[in-house]
Chains A and B, each alone.
Chain A
Amino acid sequence: MKIQHMGFNQKFLALAFLAAFGSAHADDDELTQLIKPDSTVVSVGAGTVSGDSKDRTVFSQYNGWRKNDASLLLDFNLIRRDEATGFWTRAEGRNIGLDNRELRFSQQKQGDWKYSAEYSELVRHDPRTINTNLLGAGTSTPTVVNLATPGTGSDLNLDLKRKGLTLSAEKWLTSNLLFEASFKNENKDGARLSGIGNYCSNVIGSLINTCAGTTGALLMLPEPINSTTRQFEVRLNYSGDSLTLNGGYYGSFFTNANGSLTPSVSGNWGPFTALEPGPTLGGLLTRPLALPPDNQAHQLYFAGNYAFTPKMRATFKVAYTHATQNEDFGSVGLAGAPAGVGGLGGVMDTTLAQLGFSGRPLAAAPKLSVNANWRYENKKDKTPLAAYSDNGVAPYTPGLATNASRSSEKANGKLEATYQLPDNYRATLGVDYAYVHRNRPVDSATIPAASFTALREETEELGYRAELRRSMSETLNAGISYGQSKRDGDQWLQLVAGYPANAINAPLGTAPMTMMDRQRDKLKLSADWMPTSALSLQFMLEDGTDKYSGPVGKGLHDSGMRSYGVDAVLTLSDAWKLTGYVNRGEQTLHMDHNAGYILALDNVNTSVGVGVVGKPSANFELGADLSYMDDSNRYNQSMATGAAIVDGLPDVTYRVTSLKLFGKYALDKTADIRVDLVHQSAKFNEWTWGNAGVPFAYSDNTTVGMQPNQSVTFLGARYIYKFK
């Protein structure tokens, strides 16, 4: 709290004098500057980055600096407020010279109405570079051309550009009734890494052994993206003394200009040789690949809260969503639908209900607060079943194998009680519950085609937690919490094609991690400590383990996480402040696989940062941030049989060091000069697309790579002018 400058009585008397005989004109300009928002600020300058585009693929995934070595730096911000009417006008532009530019405009009469429009661009530049002979990359009809030697093709960089327009408006109809409407349209254009692969083998099963020979092949085929998402929402809000209600409609619509991807092949090579007998592997790989279909969802909802007393409140929501997918297979180039079926006719209806209570329910126990919440979601998959895998190959008896029905029910509840103890301690005990019922996707006559999975129709999880925290201390706030939960479920079903449709079989080992028995333990400690008025420290420790148990002892065994760190802020003076942090996170994952390998994955992440901001003089501000992150992944693998590991997996490490500096000098009251310098050094040692100099090559010798050591420096200078 600031200390007042003059005595209370003197001040009041002076103000009273002024009130009676005139206003303080001498202070008007200063005061106006302090309390009026009106400003127009334009920032213009130029920036440049070092190296070529391959030196900065990690740095410039999203920030607009991948392709340009230099660019215009232009931002502006305009704010106007009419004091008499409360009429605001705002206009803002950010990154105008870059490919992640944004423009925003809004006007409002505060407390009456408001509208806004926002335009935004964002390009995601895939950090990897593809070397290929593929023609028509990013179209729905690319042509695969074999590359004689890996690395001798053309470089291809995949980008995905988003252009979004958001319009919103609101109007207070009465002092208690607010109408809101918003519309968002986003176009996505570009391509992302994808592909197709197949293997002619009778090992996997006859259902895919429809080609001759014993060869396999992979093709890199970028997924063409030319789609639009639209979201429209209208809502009416009522707010009374005790009751607030809101109800509305939310519609979301996806349209894709590309319904399928059908590659062709130039020449005879590899899997595409004319010598391949019968239905060739090459022929299979040029069959159409389905792209995401148009879909839409309509939701009606009703929500709000009610205050029973000033200390006891309920929240609630009910919502009904009708989602459909009706894309016509034929019109997007997809053949092979069952007779009489033009499209999936997908319908998913979801009902949601939530009710919560929180507050102090007992007047006789004002130190006791209770928090309870129940959420229920029911998804009904009303999509008609049809025999989509009616290929006549055993075990797919015609009419037996269908699309899957994904109906489900979920319920989540919690009940917690908190008691205010002496000395500002608060103790909380809580119980959490989760329930999932997955409809068994079979009936007496059919089985879903994609059924190589185990299923548990029901899983339940019950957990408890205890927490003790101390707050409202000027120097030390701290908390400790511990929780444990256990999940189990009913019998395991194995829905394997070839078995009687609704048989209950001993699972073969495919046990989804979301359904396995699990015990979760979690401990968390945190403390905020201010040993002096200038120094504040924040400590954090979190430890958790998940232990899994499947039907046959294979699969996920356990996982763990531990995170701990310290943050510090040291205020040296009104002009200088230092910050720092160090954090370490550890994650482990252990699993057994039926193939006989045992995996122990360890991830260790260490991050350190220091920063300083200061004002050496009235006209000069500066700041610096230095951060370092080391992320190491170890893939320890062994064979359960004791056999040797062949070509085991090296560690994957990612290290990034960033230095950010800025200086801002005020030329006068209306103009500043700002200079920014950012240096980033990244080292990515991994084997995803190659190992020890051996590239992972597609069948046409397409390769994918990224410069493992990247170093980039950005330098930008801006002139900032504040119009009067």
Chain B
Amino acid sequence: MVGLYFFSPATAALAAEGSVPVAAKKDDATTGLVLNGDAKCTACHDEGDGPELMAIGKTRHGTRADSRTPSCISCHGKTEKHLAKKGTVKPDITYGRKSTSTAEERSGACLACHQKDAKRSHWAGSVHDARDVACSSCHKIHVAKDDVRDKRTEAEVCFTCHKEQRAQVSKPSHHPIMEGKVACSDCHNAHGSVGPKLMTRDSVNDTCYTCHMEKRGPFVHSHQPVDEDCSNCHNPHGTTAESLLKTRAPFLCHSCHTTPHSSPQPAVLAGPAPAVPHWSNGPVITQGRACLNCHTQIHGSNNPSGLSPTPQRLFR
């Protein structure tokens, strides 16, 4: 239970009169309503003034037994004018849509502590940092449950800016993002990384391998664009083509392979199915699994045989 034991009446009276610069007083870490040393702030902003603000007490920030946890001024600044002028001017650092604090100021308050975390070691210079996305653009601090830290609701926060991905995740071939089983943060570290596109690991492929390790090889017969970057062929957010392919085979394959199977044009069955599929039939390179009907091991084959169906053509 948290009692209302603030500072002494004498101090309170002096502070109220403004005869003692409030910021000059040292907060006592053992006092406060919600956070350590929050007395100056909760004297006004208490459960009657802003009950929704109190929920910070339910979070790690409000775990007062942990001496590292912040006080109000850790994030909002010392706010001397705000205190001296009884709230008629804003605190030094504010958050939310109407904030006039710079992104650097807002994130700086968080990074003062959270920069220490290895997962945020590459925040500086990251694309979010450089584009003035502040921590508070995504995180809510005064709530018991931050939407962006729950994989069922995280994507909606990301879609605030990433509109194209919002449409893609609803396409028929997609990762289970809207189903709440895969979160954006499973692949992207929004706090900065060494990999491109804020990949959680050092490259696109290394990130994909965390779940799709069977594609890593190395294989006896590899496929060069597969080794180079999975996103050469796949759009991981969602596609209408199967298997998250950016475009259907054969067109995706023909983006590189313009010479093989020189005679047929892509076509679909318009009459009875041929008794014998023929590679030079348009439908066999277009329908079903298209090129992959025969080149089934498109990510690489570890078959040492040189016999037909030839593994070097990724047939088996």
Contacts and interface: CB of A to CB of B under 8 A. Distances in A.
Nearest to A310: B108
Interface in A325-367: 325, 327, 329, 334-338, 341, 344, 346-348, 352, 354, 356-359
A401 B220 CA distance: 12
Contact of B97 (A19, A354, A450, A536): A536
Given A8-B86, A289-B303, A563-B164, A35 B124 contact: no
A215 B284 CA distance: 13
B13 interface: yes
Contact of A696 (B68, B86, B283, B310): B283
Interface in A19-38: 19-20, 23-24, 27-28, 30-32, 34-37
Contacts of B316: 196, 287-290
B125 A358 contact: yes
A196 B309 contact: yes
A256 interface: yes
Contact of B258 (A9, A198, A594): A594
Contacts of B51: 34
A589 B247 contact: yes
B21 interface: no
Contact of B278 (A124, A194, A216, A511): A216
A691 interface: yes
Contact of B214 (A292, A452, A603): A292
A650 B268 contact: yes
B181 A62 contact: yes
B267 A646 contact: yes
B313 to A, nearest CB: 7
A23 B1 CA distance: 11
B121 A304 contact: yes
A411 interface: no
A514 B232 contact: yes
B276 A217 contact: yes
B24 interface: no
A585 B165 CA distance: 11
Contacts of B229: 514
A194 B296 contact: yes
A15 B43 contact: yes
B170 A607 contact: yes
B163 A563 contact: yes
A542 interface: yes
A649 B268 contact: yes
A421 interface: no
Nearest to A254: B213
Contacts, number: 538
A567 B163 contact: yes
Interface in B154-199: 160, 163-164, 166-167, 170-172, 176, 179-181, 192, 194, 196
B244 interface: no
A471 B103 contact: yes
Contacts of A513: 225, 232, 255-256
B278 A199 contact: yes
Contact of A218 (B124, B218, B294, B312): B294
A510 B259 contact: yes
Nearest to A239: B116
A645 B164 contact: no
A695 interface: yes
A321 to B, nearest CB: 8
A694 B269 contact: yes
A31 B54 contact: yes
Nearest to B269: A694
A502 interface: no
A267 interface: no
A5 B305 contact: no
A86 to B, nearest CB: 3
Nearest to B223: A450
Given A358-B124, A469-B132, A649-B266, A30 B47 contact: yes
Interface string B269-301: 111110011111011101111000110110101
Contacts of A132: none
A403 B192 CA distance: 37
Contacts of B62: 35, 37
A197 B277 contact: yes
Contact of A295 (B87, B121, B216): B216
B280 to A, nearest CB: 7
A207 interface: yes
The 8 closest A-B pairs by CB, nearest first: A35-B57, A336-B305, A86-B65, A358-B125, A16-B12, A239-B116, A292-B214, A23-B3
26 contacts: A1-B87, A15-B12, A34-B54, A83-B2, A86-B64, A86-B65, A204-B261, A207-B310, A216-B277, A252-B209, A254-B213, A290-B316, A303-B122, A303-B194, A314-B124, A325-B217, A325-B302, A344-B220, A404-B221, A406-B227, A450-B314, A585-B167, A591-B251, A594-B262, A647-B282, A649-B286
Given A2-B49, A209-B308, A556-B255, 12 more contacts: A2-B45, A30-B47, A32-B1, A216-B276, A293-B302, A336-B307, A358-B125, A388-B311, A472-B100, A593-B254, A593-B265, A684-B172
